[in-house]
Structures are given as structure tokens and as C-alpha cells.
């Protein structure tokens, strides 16, 4: 099915038969081991917002309380996040937004992904014929793409906003001028990155005044960010793409001698926000919608769900290791396809929706056995011709992202994942905010071992592949039931998948679903947050790694009775509604 700029959910439901065995049956709640106590949750009947920081949630809540739209609230929250959680997202980065209009039943997605400089080529991250070390590539100007977040905020407000543009800046400007307390998470991340941050005078002066990393509870002011916000408030996003703001970025990017970048002012002039077709597919009695390419989120997520629909996860439950074996195998197969085929569709003739063709997913699911690992993990051959020309290349991403979930009083929804890529992005601070390192999401190798091109190689004007997965789930009547997304690099897809299954198949309350230990796979190794399932999965023959998996989920569960919002207990987020 080909989607146009808007997706009519009611029309979509006519094209996809829903599984007869997937009715909304009340099932017993499983006992889930978790290391997280005091999980936050909020309930409301009219509106709800969940972000990764209390200040951002409060800013969005005030907007919703005044009658603002979901987009208005997301804008206010993002402006604050760029101040109080600058290591994760901001005006120097990009975002993907999914917007649902409750009156028209229309779903649209906005692509504010960063673009590569026009001078960039496939060998962008090579020196002396060899790929650069990851952090050698990240730190400095070479990794910086043209930011898309300013364009996203202004243009979506023009379409979906209800309050005036200038009203959305109050909290961000106030906090920047009057100061805010450094959170424990921000302090911890500055401590860990201080050696790299020291390389840049503006960055070091802000995060390490007096030469020492800021501490939790310290009060920070950001007057340069306040000045940038005031320009944004009065002049709109045009100032971010023409004039002094991009000129200062170009000067910094090109001027860092150790790792200069290729951005120039023309790259900013030519940046455009893009409307993309949302990608949707069935899962049991639901329709799951997320962001299409250049994000790999929707296609990979829907591949996983399409394969898993063959298996009775509701009956197995969360405590049965076979559930996790199935999830891991479906994930590994989907990631194999992702790594080979998915990238910016404006530059590569990708398989696209062929990757979620029902017959193709049946053939992929046939490789899965519940009680033993896959014999071989490799990309399949979807029903398309050009797809076989490319070779697989996984990315090496680091989590430096945030997610905003909003439902307004009219039932409009925003699911928005926003990022500067790795923590602290390129580590360069200009105009009071950090610049992204998004270009390191491109493959560092332009060709595979057999000489075939890699689809996700760098090219001038191209948008690098992403894993961001802003998601909205609808029931069989076309009503939204779940809004979610996460931070976490390429782990994002697994984090979102697990929560969809937890809520839809295992009937978990949303706060328990977010708090449950992560178990996911991006290849042959199953990564997990604790060792509860480790021995059982290893006995099946799986390779298991227990490690820290720091996500950044936010979610809203929508029922006939209420809106139930919850943030990820691994971060500092808050849900608030009424």
C-alpha cells in the first residue's frame, strides 16, 4: 500500500485483516523482576504530557492547561529540554515527529533529520584509507549536520499550533536567564565526558566553570541560549538558516583544526523540513504506526511484530524464556535487513514497504524456533530488485536522545523523538547550545568486502539512517491506545518493541511495562539488563550479555476512562496531566 502525505487510519484498517486470536482479553498480570522502585505515573482525563525532565514536562503542562495543542506543548518542552538536558537534544540537532489529528483522523510524520554538507562524500570518515576511530570522528566539526529541529518547531506550529508562537518560550527563557539546578544525570554525564568537553573553550566554560565539572544542585545560567531563544521567538526559524546563527556554526565547524567539518552557509539555506508518509502495519487487533525512512524505526519494528504475530506470546507471558527467545530471533532477523537496506530513500532506491510484505514476513518467521537460536542471521531477499545491490553495514551509535509524548484536550497526539546523536553531540557549543554529531550515523565504510556499495554511506545533502521510533498504536476501530518512544541509539527499536508487547500482549500497566528489565537483540547476542532470564536462554544455546541499558522511554496509555502517562524510571522524567 502506498501512503500519501496523510494517513487515514480508518481506511487503513479496511486493507489489513486483523488476527482473530488477538482480542483484548484480560490476562493475569505477570510478576516482573525490576530494579526500579517508585515508578512515576500520572492519570488525567483531559490531557497528558511526559518528557525526560521535570522542567520540560512543567512547561508543556502549562501550555496544555492554557488550551494549547499537542504541538504547542511539544515545542515548549523541547525548548526547555535544550537547556536542562542539553547533552541529549536541542536546537543544534534534529527530530522525527508523528502527529495525529483527532478530528480528521489523519496521521502525518515530519522528518527534521540533519543533512550532510553538499561537499560530503562516502569517504567522509576515513583517514589514510582507513575508517576513523568513533570518537575521533565525533568530536569536532566533521560530524556536524545541518540541524532540523528549529524548522520542525516553527513549521509544525504554523500547521497545528493553537496558542501564539511567542507564548511557547516563557519557561525556557526564564530558566535560561534566572538559572536552573543541574540534575544528577546531567552532572554524571559531564563528569564522564569532561576530557572531551575540555577541548572546546565555550563548552568547557559552560559545563566546567572554574575548570571543574558542574555538580548536581549547582545553578546554571545560559544567557547565550536566552538570546538565541529571543531571536527565535521574534523572527522564527529563518534566523537559524540565514544570518549570524548559521554563520557562527559554520565558523566553528570549519575552524576546529583537529577535525574540521565541511558545512557552509549554503547547506543551511537549502535545508527543508520534509513531510513523510508514516509507516503502519497490523499487530494482532491493532495498527502500529511509526516513522519511515530515513528512520529505520517503523520498518524494523513492524518486521519484528509481523514475525512475532505467528507465535502465541500472550499465552507464553513475560516469564517464559521462550518469549524472549522468539523476540530476540525476530529482532536479529529484522536488524539484518535494516543494516543492509535502510537509509535515506531520497538517495537510494530502498525496498521500503516490501520489507513488511506479509508473505515476506511469513518466510522470515519460518526461520524462528522458540527453544533454540537461529542457525544463521543474514538479510533476506524482499520482493524488490534493486535491494540486492547493497551490502550490510551496522552503525555505531551512542544514546544521546530524548522522547516527548503528548495528548491534548482535543485528543490530538504528538510522539516526538529528538536528538543531537551521541551524548553532547559533537561537543561543540555555539549560540548557547550543543551541535549534533549526526553524520556519524552514516557508515564509515562506503563499500563492503565484496565491493558492493553500502546503502547508508555519506553523500552531500543525504540524511543518515536513524533508529528513532516515535510510535502511536491504534485499535481496530482506529482509536489511539498507546503513544510511546525512547532514547537509546539503535537499542530504541528493541525498547519500543518490548513495551508494545508488554502492554498489548501481556496487559501490563504502562508504568510496569517501562520499568521491566530490558531484553533485546540486534544480532546474535541477546542484551539484557539483569540476569533473571540469562541461564534459561543460555541453556537454549543463546549468546547472552548482561549490561547497563539506559533507555529514555516516555509513554501514554489511552483508555476510555483515562490517560495514563509514565516516564522511564532510568531517567529523571515526569508525567503530568489533568
pLDDT digits (tens, 9 = 90+) for 139-156: 999 999 999 999 999 999
Would you list the DSSP string of 439-498? GGGSBS-SB-TTSPBPTTB--TT----B----EEEEETTS-EEEEEE--SGGGHHHHHHH
Reported as a single tens digit per residue, the pLDDT across 515-541 is 999 999 999 999 999 999 999 999 999
**More confidently predicted of 3 and 183:** 183
Rounded to whole angstroms, the Cα distance separating 211 from 183 reads: 19
Assign residue 543 a region (left: φ > 0; alpha: ψ between -120 and 50; beta: otherwise). Answer: beta
pLDDT value, residue 387: 53
pLDDT of residue 40: 81
In the prediction, which pLDDT does 5 show?
Answer: 36
The CA distance from 163 to 442, in Å, is: 38
440 is catalytic: no
Q: Which of 262, 260, 264, 265 is nearest to 140 (CA)?
A: 260
Q: How far apart, in whole angstroms, are the C-alpha atoms of residue 340 and residue 450?
A: 14
By percentage, how much of the chain surpasses pLDDT 90? 89
Rg of the chain over CA atoms, in angstroms? 22
At 561, is the pLDDT very low, low, confident or very high (cuts 50, 70, 90)? confident
Neighbours of 430 (CB within 10 A): 23
The pLDDT confidence band at residue 27, using thresholds 50, 70 and 90, is very low
Q: Which of 433, 442, 438, 462 is nearest to 249 (CA)?
A: 433
Q: Which residues contact 274 (CB under 8 A, 6 or more apart)?
A: 110, 111
pLDDT tens-digit readout, 414-436: 999 999 999 999 999 999 999 99
Q: Is the confidence at residue 206, as pLDDT, over 60?
A: yes
Residue pair 419/487 in contact (Cβ under 8 Å)? The answer is: yes
Q: At 208, is the secondary structure helix, strand, or coil?
A: coil
Q: 123: burial class by Cβ within 10 Å (0-12, 13-18, 19+)?
A: middle
Q: What does the pLDDT average to over 57-61?
A: 98
Residue whose C-alpha cell reads 529563518 in the numeric block: 238
Among 401, 417, 419, 440, the active-site one is 401
Whether omega for the bond prior to residue 439 falls within 30 degrees of 0, making it cis, is no
Phi–psi pair at 147, nearest 5 degrees: -65, 145
What is the reported pLDDT for 380? 95
Q: How far apart are CA 133 and CA 125, in angstroms?
A: 9
Q: Where are the alpha helices (DSSP H) in 236-343?
A: 238-241, 244-255, 265-269, 297-308, 313-316, 321-341
Question: How many other CB atoms are there within 10 angstroms of residue 183's CB atom?
Answer: 19
Confidence of residue 28 (pLDDT cuts 50, 70, 90): very low
When pLDDT is averaged across residues 383-393 and rounded to a whole number, the result is: 69
Position 37 confidence tier, pLDDT thresholds 50, 70, 90: low
3-class state of residue 393 by DSSP: coil
Residues 6+ apart with CB under 8 A from 161: 68, 69, 71, 72, 75
In DSSP terms, 480 is beta-bridged to: 474
At 351, give phi and psi (nearest 5°).
Answer: -65, -30
What 3-state DSSP class applies to 577?
Answer: strand
Sign of the torsion angle spanned by Cα atoms 287, 291, 297, 298: positive
Beta-carbon contacts of 325 under 8 Å, excluding residues fewer than 6 positions away, are 370, 371, 372, 373, 537, 540, 542
**Residue closest to 406 by CA, chosen among 70, 105, 116:** 70
Parallel/antiparallel/unpaired status of strands 543-546 and 525-528: parallel
Name residues whose C-beta falls within 8 Å of residue 535's C-beta, 6 or more positions apart in sequence: none
> Is the confidence at residue 83, as pLDDT, over 60?
yes
- CA–CA distances in Å: residue 112 to residues 190, 198, 221: 27, 30, 28
Q: Residue 116 CB: number of other CB atoms within 10 A?
A: 26
Q: Is 13 helix (H, G, I), strand (E, B) or coil?
A: helix
Residue 127, SS3 per DSSP: strand
**What pLDDT was estimated at residue 340?**
94
Q: Which helix (H) or strand (E) holds 515?
A: helix 510-515
Closest-CA residue to 335 (of 297, 281, 382, 363) = 297
User: Given phi > 0 = left and psi -120 to 50 = alpha, else beta, which region is 304?
Assistant: alpha
Using left for φ > 0, alpha for ψ between -120 and 50, and beta otherwise, residue 468 falls in beta
Mean pLDDT of the chain, nearest integer:
92
From CA 532, how far away is CA 530, in angstroms rounded? 6
Query: Omega before 294 cis (within 30°)?
Result: yes
Residue 199 — pLDDT band, cuts 50, 70, 90?
very high
Mean pLDDT of 12-28: 36
Strands (E) across 94-138 are located at 94-101, 106-112, 126-127, 130-131
Amino acid at each position: 500500500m502506498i501512503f500519501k502525505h496523510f494517513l487515514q487510519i480508518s481506511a487503513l484498517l479496511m486493507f489489513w485483516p486483523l488476527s482473530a486470536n488477538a482480542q483484548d482479553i484480560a490476562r493475569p498480570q505477570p510478576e516482573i523482576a525490576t530494579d526500579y522502585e517508585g515508578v512515576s505515573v500520572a492519570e488525567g482525563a483531559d490531557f497528558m504530557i511526559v518528557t525526560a525532565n521535570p522542567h520540560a514536562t512543567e512547561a508543556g503542562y502549562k501550555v496544555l492547561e492554557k488550551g494549547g495543542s499537542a504541538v504547542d506543548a511539544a515545542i515548549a518542552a523541547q525548548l526547555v529540554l535544550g537547556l536542562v538536558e542539553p547533552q541529549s537534544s536541542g536546537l543544534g540537532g534534529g527530530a522525527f515527529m508523528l502527529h495525529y489529528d483527532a478530528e480528521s483522523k489523519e496521521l502525518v510524520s515530519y522528518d527534521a533529520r540533519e543533512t550532510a554538507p553538499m561537499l560530503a562524500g562516502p569517504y567522509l570518515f576515513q583517514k589514510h584509507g582507513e575508517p576513523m576511530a568513533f570518537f575521533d570522528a565525533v568530536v569536532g566539526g566533521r560530524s556536524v549536520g545541518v540541524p532540523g529541529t528549529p524548522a520542525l518547531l516553527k513549521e509544525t506550529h504554523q500547521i497545528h499550533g493553537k496558542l501564539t508562537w511567542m507564548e511557547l518560550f516563557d519557561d525556557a527563557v526564564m530558566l535560561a536567564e534566572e538559572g536552573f539546578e543541574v540534575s544528577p544525570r546531567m552532572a554524571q554525564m559531564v563528569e564522564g565526558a569532561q576530557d572531551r568537553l575540555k577541548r572546546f573553550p565555550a563548552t568547557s566554560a559552560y559545563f566546567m566553570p572554574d575548570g571543574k565539572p558542574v555538580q548536581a544542585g549547582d545553578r546554571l545560567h545560559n544567557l547565550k541560549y536566552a538570546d538565541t531563544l529571543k531571536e527565535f521567538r521574534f523572527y522564527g526559524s529563518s534566523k537559524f538558516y540565514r544570518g549570524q546563527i548559521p554563520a557562527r556554526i559554520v565558523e566553528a565547524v570549519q575552524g576546529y583544526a583537529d577535525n574540521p567539518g565541511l558545512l557552509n552557509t549554503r547547506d543551511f539555506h537549502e535545508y527543508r523540513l520534509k513531510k513523510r508518509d508514516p509507516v503502519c502495519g497490523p499487530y494482532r487487533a491493532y495498527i502500529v504506526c511509526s516513522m519511515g525512512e530515513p528512520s529505520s524505526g517503523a520498518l524494523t519494528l513492524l518486521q519484528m511484530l509481523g514475525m512475532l504475530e505467528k507465535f502465541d506470546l500472550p499465552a507464553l507471558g513475560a516469564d517464559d524464556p521462550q518469549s524472549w527467545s522468539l523476540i530476540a530471533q525476530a529482532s536479529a532477523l529484522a536488524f539484518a535487513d535494516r543494516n543492509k537496506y535502510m537509509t535515506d530513500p531520497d538517495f537510494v532506491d530502498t525496498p521500503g514497504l516490501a520489507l513488511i510484505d506479509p508473505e515476506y514476513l511469513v518466510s522470515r518467521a519460518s526461520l524462528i524456533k522458540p527453544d533454540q537460536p537461529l542457525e544463521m542471521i543474514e538479510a533476506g531477499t524482499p520482493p524488490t530488485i534493486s535491494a540486492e545491490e547493497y551490502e550490510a553495514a551496522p552503525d555505531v551509535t551512542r544514546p544521546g536522545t530524548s522522547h516527548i509524548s503528548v495528548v491534548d484536550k482535543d485528543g490530538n497526539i504528538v510522539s516526538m523523538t529528538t536528538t543531537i546523536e551521541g551524548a553532547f553531540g559533537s561537543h561543540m557549543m555555539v549560540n548557547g547550545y550543543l551541535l549534533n554529531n549526526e553524520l556519524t550515523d552514516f557508515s564509515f565504510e562506503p563499500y563492503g568486502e565484496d565491493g558492493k556499495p553500502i546503502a547508508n554511506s555519506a553523500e552531500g545533502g543525504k540524511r543518515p539512517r536513524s533508529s528513532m521510533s516515535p510510535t502511536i498504536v491504534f485499535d481496530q476501530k482506529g482509536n489511539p491506545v498507546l503513544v510511546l518512544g525512547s532514547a537509546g541509539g539503535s537499542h530504541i527499536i528493541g525498547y519500543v518493541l518490548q513495551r508494545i508487547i508488554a502492554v498489548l500482549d501481556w496487559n501490563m500497566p504502562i508504568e510496569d511495562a517501562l520499568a521491566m528489565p530490558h531484553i533485546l537483540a540486534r544480532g546474535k547476542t541477546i542484551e539484557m539488563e539483569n540476569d533473571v532470564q540469562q541461564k534459561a536462554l543460555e541453556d537454549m544455546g543463546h549468546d547472552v550479555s548482561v549490561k547497563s541499558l539506559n533507555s529514555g522511554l516516555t509513554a501514554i496509555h489511552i483508555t476510555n476512562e483515562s490517560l495514563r502517562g509514565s516516564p522511564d524510571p532510568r531517567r529523571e522524567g515526569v508525567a503530568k496531566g489533568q
